[in-house]
Amino acid sequence: MGVTIGMLYPGFGAEDDYPFMADLLGEGVSLPLVHTSVGVDAHEVQALLDLGKSERLLEGAEALRSSQPDAVMWACTSGSFVFGWDGAKRQAAEVQEALGVPVSSTSLAFVDAVHALGLERVAVAATYPGDVSRHFVDLLNRGGIEVTQLVSHDIPTAALAGELDREGVLALARSNDSPQAQAILIPDTALHSARWINELEAALGKPVLTANQVTVWQGLRLAGALRTCDELGHLFKHAAGIRVEA
């Protein structure tokens, strides 16, 4: 049975992760993607609040309507967590009201993925400057997750994050292998990651959750269509079919 998960993706960066994951997940999985508008590409709080404002998301949602999605994801971490827990929930609710299907965002997907794996303590290896990254930590804490350590890499734009290659992403992950953490979280949907998740987990010896990975997982979960996939890390091997409380 086919399933369609619509992606609202801001600008351009690592959107090619999505067709790659769709191919891995097999026949019947469709991940149509709409590029939402961007004002200023900057990992700065005010720019990110503008990036995630209602007008941009609702305009993108209308462009997705013709795809008849079973669920929709706001495929952006920073453009959701800067609004805080309640604000991120409101973002999803507005798009859900407009389209009449379940909706979530990458930030909320990280919280649900951690809980689905039965974990409590994580480390965060972020592309963002420190002041931006701390908003993600606050959202994780609000979701009942302890952050044992935060490393911020101060990459100023999504476009530059999207230029990191395999070695750059591996170095990013290794930069925060906190011994107390049960998993490493790597936010930023502009960062390529889908091709290297198993390699990241092998290098660190624990689950690694990346932005584009958890976004697809959450969309499939909301649509009731989770499936296992050995190529997409611990989350897709062991958290298929797991229910997460809203």
For residue 241, is it within any domain? no
Indicate whether 7 and 92 sit together in one domain: yes
Give residue 209's Cα distance to chain centre. Answer: 9
Q: What is the pLDDT of residue 246?
A: 43
φ and ψ of 58, to 5 deg: -70, -35
| 242 band by pLDDT with thresholds 50, 70 and 90 | low
Task: Encode pLDDT of 95-147 as tens digits.
Answer: 999 999 999 999 999 999 999 999 999 999 888 888 999 999 999 999 999 99
Indicate whether 98 and 7 sit together in one domain: yes
Indicate whether 100 and 118 sit together in one domain: no
Q: How many domains does the chain have?
A: 2
Indicate whether 196 and 206 sit together in one domain: yes
Indicate whether 76 and 164 sit together in one domain: no
Indicate whether 136 and 56 sit together in one domain: no
What average pLDDT is seen over the chain?
89
The parent domain of residue 124 ranges over 110-210
Instruction: Identify the CATH number of the domain in which residue 71 sits.
Output: 3.40.50.12500
What pTM, to 2 d.p., does this model score? 0.92
Task: Encode pLDDT of 180-232 as tens digits.
Answer: 999 999 998 988 999 999 999 999 999 999 999 999 999 999 999 998 999 99
| 240 band by pLDDT with thresholds 50, 70 and 90 | low
- How many Cβ atoms sit within 10 Å of the Cβ of residue 205? 8
For residue 74, is it within any domain? yes
For residue 117, is it within any domain? yes
